[in-house]
Amino acid sequence: MRGKTQLRIVSGALGGRIIDTPNNKGITQPMGERERMAIFNQIRSYLTDAKVLDAFAGSGALGITALSNGAASSDFLENNPKAIKTINSNIHKLKLEKTARVIQRVAGEYDIIFADPPYDNPQYGRIETLVSRLKEGGLLILSHPGTPEPPDFIGLAMISDRSYAAAHIKIYQKI
């Protein structure tokens, strides 16, 4: 299929398996492997039995990698039809139907929230709303462009701030 790209799951039980990304250049931009590896190396101890939200899910790579590393469940928040189709296909291909689901509205609380919005529209207001769904002690992992800087999220303490070329990854913990 023309324009179709794939990603490798970077760690865990499904490490090395390949998933598809949506064929909609300009709408989604998958996070690089180096960045995903760095994130999961930092948060691995938080993943056991965690309830995860992969916001702005795209391919679902972050939530799937969380499941691969011991998360109990992963919800994929996405509204783009091509991305939803791709995530559902990846879930089916990896036989994750019992622990993974695509949602268009958030309900419940999460131990870990991944937020990787489009860099041309970082949607910090929407991310602030998601913070209210984070359990005490939970983590928000935010990928963002260098500018504009994200706001100070009320009730969160930044525990890590790293840059990888154009990607900036901040990890916050709910206090």
Question: Which domains are delineated in the chain?
Answer: 6-174 (3.40.50.150)
Cβ burial of 32 (10 Å; 0-12, 13-18, 19+) is middle
The 10 Å Cβ neighbour count of residue 44 is 14
Instruction: Find out whether 102 and 76 touch, Cβ atoms under 8 Å.
Output: yes
Taking only the tens of pLDDT, the chain with its 175 residues reads: 445 688 999 999 999 999 999 976 655 678 889 999 999 999 999 999 999 999 999 999 999 999 999 999 999 999 999 999 999 999 999 999 999 999 999 989 999 999 999 878 888 899 999 999 999 999 999 999 877 789 899 999 999 999 988 789 999 999 9
163 exposure class (CB count in 10 Å sphere: 0-12, 13-18, 19+) = exposed
Cα 118 to chain centroid distance, Å, stands at: 12
**Tell me, what DSSP letter sits at residue 61?**
H
